[in-house]
């Protein structure tokens, strides 16, 4: 694990003690991508073979990870696979790879802790033929899985990567992180220190999976801290902050064009203005909004600062983004690893919506009405306490927000910790009020 963290530190741009020549790097490119010899996009599934092909042809790689069981990002994945007259000519200039099992993530190449939002079921990586990480592409927010990415944004990023890759000065700039050792064995998430501990706490159906889901890799990475009781859910869930966290709004399709700067924000104090185009931050060149969010993700846990470079009317400018304590906060309710992960307090049921019974039992529209689905899981701590799927939960420890599904689970995680006492106010099948009390099990 120490070796992995050291590799990540190098990939962040700490490999050079001297300041990169950003004026040169972010100025007009000098290279030119050769014309593609292919008219169709080939999605390879063998990463090692693809990397060998990339070195032989001196082409950059575009590697996507797609968690097939997850509906999230499925439409975007389909758009990329189907391509089209605008996207395909760009994709054919890359060695394209599509992997559909998170267990296939080679941690020696894909530095997931710093460069991948593992709650996403689709993620793209731009790599050099040697496996250096140029940048990443992907992302969503609490609104939807389309508010941060688009095919036009991907096309803009592909063009920027091609210009960077074929610039003859790229090697001397040395800004793309370290080159991985491709001669060793693949480092799978199943080899991480937290894998066995995570596996021991999962449901039997998860243990029977032939593949790993991306959000489960998040849990595996967090398991050692959870077991050591050093994981802080009020701090450590604040991942992949949005540009808005520092006062920036970026055009989705361009990716790096500033459309608004919030008055008094970190970005405003740094001197950024609408119309500026981000170029680099935190020692890394930015090819997409995702790259900038990656810089924020790897940035200060509390108060601190980050270097940022941008262009305004062809003039290169730079400053420090100075952030205060608590700057990383986002709305994480959509995240599977937040609402249902190893570091979350589990209520012992999945909160399904109640339809006809809300009206029959005259439950106000703004109050809680949850159908506690447990399936055949009679080992649930809630089931053992007397809760049944036919009940309607109307309050938890006296509070009654109208929440269901992951929004309820996220709220529950915020409110409770393993070991806490829970008191459910429920209505039985006849509408009779009763209470179910139990203690949330401690994490193993």
pLDDT digits (tens, 9 = 90+) for 313-324: 999 999 999 999
Give me the pLDDT at residue 77, please. Answer: 96
- DSSP labels for 175-187? -S-PPP-TTS---
Q: Are 255 and 173 members of one domain? A: no
CA–CA separation, 117 and 121 (whole Å): 9
What kind and span of H or E run contains 154? Answer: helix 151-165
Compute the average pLDDT of residues 167-195.
Answer: 91
Residues 62 and 181 in one domain: yes
Residue 209 CB partners (closer than 8 Å, separation 6+): none
Same domain, yes or no: 72 and 131:
yes
Phi-psi region for residue 126, left (φ > 0), alpha (ψ -120 to 50) or beta? beta
Give the whole-number percent of the chain exceeding pLDDT 70: 95
Average pLDDT for 416-439 = 94
Residue 417 predicted with pLDDT over 70: yes
In a domain, 204, yes or no: no
In the chain, what percentage of residues exceed pLDDT 90? 72
HEC secondary structure over 227-295 = HCCCCCCCCCCCCCCCHHHHCEEECCCCCCEEEEECCCCHHHHHCCCCCCEEEEECCEECCCHHHHHHH
What does residue 334 show for φ and ψ, rounded to 5 degrees? -75, -15
Q: Are 120 and 214 in contact (CB under 8 A)?
A: yes
| Helix orientation angle between 74-82 and 151-165, rounded to the nearest 10 degrees | 60
Q: What's the first-to-final CA gap in the chain, in angstroms?
A: 21
Residue 424 belongs to domain spanning:
345-439
Which carries the bigger pLDDT value, residue 186 or residue 82?
82
Write out pLDDT tens, residues 83-121.
Answer: 999 999 999 999 999 999 998 899 999 999 999 999 999
- Tell me which residue of 107, 91, 98, 109 sits closest to 41, measured CA to CA: 91
pLDDT of 1 over the 60 cut = no
272 has a pLDDT exceeding 50: yes
pLDDT for 34-86, tens place per residue?
Answer: 888 788 999 999 999 999 999 999 999 999 999 888 888 899 999 999 999 99
Which contiguous run of DSSP H or E holds residue 61? strand 61-66
162 and 32 belong to one structural domain: yes
Q: Are strands 350-353 and 370-373 parallel, antiparallel or unpaired?
A: antiparallel
Q: Mean per-residue pLDDT for 406-417? A: 91
CA dist 365 and 151 (Å) reads 39
Q: What is the mean predicted confidence (pLDDT) over 240-255?
A: 98
181 in the same domain as 117: yes
Taking Cα atoms as reference points, which of 235, 243, 221 lies closest to residue 291? 243
Residue 7: is its pLDDT beyond 90?
A: no
Long-range pairs for 52-59 at CB < 8 Å and ≥24 separation? 53/95, 54/95, 54/127, 54/129, 55/129, 55/130, 57/95, 57/129, 58/129, 59/93, 59/94, 59/95, 59/129
123-160 pLDDT, tens digit per residue, is: 999 999 999 999 999 999 999 999 999 999 999 999 99
- Residue 417 is assigned to a structural domain of this protein: yes
Which pLDDT does position 28 carry in this prediction?
A: 94
Tokens read off for 260:
């608004």
130-164 burial, b at 16+ Cβ within 10 Å, e below that, comes to: ebbbbbbbbbbbeeebeebbebebbbbbbebbbbb
Is residue 134 within 8 A of residue 128, CB to CB? The reply is: yes
Which tokens hold the place of 323?
């952030």
CATH assignment at residue 415? 2.30.42.10
Q: How far apart are CA 275 and CA 257, in angstroms?
A: 6
CATH number at residue 23: 3.40.30.10
On whether both 155 and 60 belong to a single domain, the answer is yes
5 confidence band (pLDDT: 50, 70, 90): very low
Give the pLDDT band of residue 14 (cuts 50, 70, 90).
very low
Does any domain span residue 76?
yes
In a domain, 181, yes or no: yes
Q: Closest Cα partner for 438 from 415, 417, 420, 422?
A: 422
Q: What is the pLDDT of residues 362-394, one digit of tens each?
A: 999 999 999 999 888 788 899 999 999 889 999
Average of per-residue pLDDT values in the chain = 91
The DSSP secondary-structure symbol of 423 reads E
Q: Print burial letters for 334-358: b (CB count within 10 Å at least 16), e (below 16).
A: bbbbbbbbbbbbbbbbbbeebeebb
**pLDDT at residue 17 above 80?**
no
The structure tokens listed for 44 are 């390879």
Residue 150 sits in the same domain as residue 260: no
CA torsion 253→255→257→259, rounded to 10°?
A: 70
pLDDT band, very low/low/confident/very high, at 444 (cuts 50, 70, 90): low
- Domain total of the chain: 3
Q: What is the pLDDT of residues 211-237, one digit of tens each?
A: 888 889 999 999 999 889 899 988 899
Are the beta carbons of 133 and 97 closer than 8 angstroms?
A: no
Within this chain, do residues 51 and 146 fall inside the same structural domain, yes or no?
A: yes
Domain assignment of residue 174, yes or no: yes
- The confidence band for 3, taking pLDDT boundaries of 50, 70 and 90, is very low
Q: Does one domain contain both 362 and 317?
A: no
pTM: 0.90
pLDDT tier at 186 (50, 70, 90 boundaries)?
Answer: confident
Out of 24-33, 231-240, 244-253, 426-435, give the one with best mean pLDDT.
244-253
Residue 64 and residue 159 in one domain: yes
User: Are residues 352 and 317 part of one domain?
Assistant: no
| Co-location of 296 and 367 in the same domain | no
**For residue 16, pLDDT beyond 80:** no
Torsion sign (Cα): 356, 358, 359, 365: negative
Q: Is residue 329 part of a domain?
A: no
């Amino acid at each position: 694990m120490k070796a992995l963290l050291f590799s990540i530190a190098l990939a962040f741009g700490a490999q050079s003690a001297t300041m990169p020549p950003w004026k040169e790097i972010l100025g007009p490119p000098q290279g030119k991508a050769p014309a593609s010899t292919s008219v169709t996009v080939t999605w390879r599934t063998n990463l090692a073979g693809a990397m060998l092909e990339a070195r032989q042809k001196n082409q950059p790689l575009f590697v996507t990870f797609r968690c097939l069981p997850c509906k999230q990002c499925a439409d975007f994945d389909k758009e990329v696979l189907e391509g089209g007259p605008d996207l395909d000519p760009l994709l054919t200039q890359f060695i394209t790879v599509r992997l559909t099992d998170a267990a296939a993530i080679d941690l020696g190449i894909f530095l997931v802790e710093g460069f991948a939002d593992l709650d996403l079921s689709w993620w793209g990586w731009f790599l050099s033929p040697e496996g250096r990480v140029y940048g990443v592409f992907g992302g969503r927010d609490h609104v939807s899985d389309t508010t941060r990415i688009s095919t036009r944004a991907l096309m803009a990023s592909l063009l920027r990567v091609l210009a960077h890759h074929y610039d003859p000065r790229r090697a001397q700039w040395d800004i793309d992180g370290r080159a991985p050792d491709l001669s060793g064995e693949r480092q799978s998430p199943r080899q991480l220190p937290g894998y066995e501990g995570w596996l021991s706490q999962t449901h039997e159906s998860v243990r029977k999976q032939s593949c790993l889901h991306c959000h489960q890799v998040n849990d595996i990475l967090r398991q050692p801290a959870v077991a050591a009781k050093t994981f802080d859910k009020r701090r450590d869930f604040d991942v992949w902050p949005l540009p808005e966290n520092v006062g920036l709004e970026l055009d989705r399709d361009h990716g790096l064009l500033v459309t608004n700067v919030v008055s008094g924000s970190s970005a405003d104090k740094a001197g950024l203005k609408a119309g500026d185009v981000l170029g680099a931050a935190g020692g890394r060149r930015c090819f997409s909004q995702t790259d900038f969010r990656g810089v924020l993700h790897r940035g200060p846990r509390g108060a601190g600062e980050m270097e940022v470079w941008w262009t305004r009317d062809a003039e290169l400018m730079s400053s420090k983004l100075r952030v205060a304590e608590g700057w990383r906060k986002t709305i994480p309710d959509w995240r599977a690893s937040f609402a249902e992960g190893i570091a979350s307090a589990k209520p012992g049921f999945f909160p399904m919506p109640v339809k006809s019974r809300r009206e029959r039992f005259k439950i106000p529209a703004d109050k809680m009405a949850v159908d506690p689905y447990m399936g055949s899981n009679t080992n649930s701590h809630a089931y053992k306490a007397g809760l049944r799927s036919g009940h309607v939960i109307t309050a938890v420890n006296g509070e009654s927000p109208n929440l269901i599904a992951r929004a309820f689970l996220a709220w529950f995680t915020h409110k409770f910790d393993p070991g806490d006492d829970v008191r459910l106010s429920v209505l039985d099948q006849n509408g009779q009020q009763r209470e179910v009390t139990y203690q949330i099990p401690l994490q193993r």
